[in-house]
Amino acid sequence: MRVLGWFYLALAFGFIFLPVAVLVLFSFQDGRLPVPPFNGPSLRWYESVLGDRRLMEGLRHSLIVASLSAALALLLGFMAAQALARHRLPGTLLMRAALIAPLTVSYLIIALGLLSLFNRAGIGLSLWTAGVGHVVINLPLCFAILYASMGEQQRSAETAARDLGAGEVRVLALITAPMLAPSMLAAYFLAFTFSWDEFIIAYLLTRFDVTLPVEIWSLLRSGLTPRANAIGSVVFLVSVGVLVALQLLVFRKVRP
């Protein structure tokens, strides 16, 4: 049974990572087509990608949109979770359902709705409108993570701090935020990752300044090349870097 279990695990990891391995492998292809036989290794396509102004601009735009939208989604999610977890408000269940609802809606529907809203309001499409869309899809995630983390132990610590004379701002800064720090980091990194490689909303809600996934889509319209593999490998590397940072900062076991 143990051998069968390891075999199943190997198949599962192979199914997940084999396409990524092929993508990375043929990003080092020396020829012009990312197909066997493999000729290389060569860094010519990475040099081409890093020297492409449009791709580097798209990379910079993606980092800006992802970092800012994740931060705003985290802030709004924290405020909503704190309000609904610590205060009895009329219609609490309805408000919680409304906050979680975007998780069940297709990104395409959200993007089309926001596009219609911005057009009616006379707001031009830009990185800011794409950032708003990313806040909409990441806010429910941040809220759900933080709301689930607010337990009775934290409530008791907050009550004790208030009994000792601490104001609400000090309670939030010195008690609530430190106790929720792992959950807040997890929510931020997940929101950053989802925003970083999101395409549909970024495509529909930007015009001239676009994010990296939109630039990659434009690149793929001319056909699959090792250059596309190279930029895909860069995206994968950044995503892995974020997940490794999440692992080290949040899920690492504290050793005595």
CA atoms of 175 and 77, how far apart (whole Å): 18
Higher-confidence residue of 197 and 120: namely: 120
CB atoms within 10 A of CB 231: 25
**CB under 8 Å to 131, separation ≥6 — which residues?**
65, 68, 69, 72
Distance CA 201, CA 112 (A): 8
**Which residue in this structure is represented by tokens 């930029």?**
231
Question: CA 41 to CA 70: how far, in whole Å?
Answer: 37
Q: Tell whether omega for the bond before 213 is within 30 degrees of 0, i.e. cis.
A: no
Model confidence pTM above 0.75: yes
Domains of the chain, with CATH numbers? 2-251 (1.10.3720.10)
State the average pLDDT over residues 185-199.
Answer: 88
* Alpha-carbon dihedral sign for residues 168, 152, 182, 191: negative
How many Cβ atoms are within 10 Å of 159's Cβ, its own excluded? 12
Amino acid identity for residue 125 in this structure: L
**Residues, the chain:** 256
How far CA 233 is from CA of 40, 46, 67, 200, in Å, comes to: 16, 9, 20, 20
State the DSSP code for 252.
Answer: P
* Residue of 110 and 45 predicted with greater confidence: 110
pLDDT at 255 over 50: no
Return the beta strands (E) in the chain as ranges: none
- Report residue 128 as tokens: 């800011």
Do residues 71 and 184 make contact, with C-beta atoms less than 8 angstroms apart?
Answer: no
pLDDT tens-digit profile of 22-81?
878 877 877 777 667 777 677 878 888 888 888 888 888 998 999 999 999 999 998 888
